[in-house]
Amino acid sequence: MTANTWIYEELSAFPASVKDFKFEWNWHRWLIGGKMFAAICLSDSGEEVYLTLKLEPLEGDLLRQQYADIIPGYYMNKVHWNSVKLDGDVPADVIRHMMEESYRLVAKSLTKKTRAELGIEV
């Protein structure tokens, strides 16, 4: 972890959040109920490049218009996923909101049974 330690800590603090590392992609991923809600994409040298998060399509479009450092999801569905350039100028409160929204959307997509087993309310 580097200067973005707070991102790692906050993503890991979400209820039932599980962090892993996908070697084939060179990504740190956070999952809930087996579904990814966030990823930090690393360069070949191990530098953190993008934080990728899921958003409602309209909100993602709006944020991309407001911030040049928010782009369509890196190697992801460009409608639902958005990537934040970690060396860019997106304020921490905007990133925090995006992380919360991504978690909520993915948690909401889980079955009621899975949410109950994980102790998650949406």
**How much of the chain, in percent, has pLDDT values that exceed 70?**
98
Task: Show Cβ contacts of residue 100 under 8 Å, excluding neighbours closer than 6 positions.
Answer: none
Residue with tokens 């102790």, as numbered in its chain: 119
Q: Amino acid identity, residue 93?
A: D
Its pTM stands at 0.92
Q: What is the pLDDT of residue 53?
A: 97
Residue spans per domain, the chain: 5-115
Query: In whole angstroms, what is the distance from residue 48 CA to residue 40 CA?
Result: 7
| Gyration radius of the chain's alpha carbons | 14
CA distance 83 to 109: 20
- Report the distance separating Cα 25 and Cα 103, nearest Å: 21
pLDDT tens-digit map of 20-60: 999 999 999 999 999 999 999 999 998 999 999 999 999 99
The dotted CATH code for 5-115 is: 3.90.1150.30
Gap between the Cα atoms of 89 and 100, Å rounded = 19
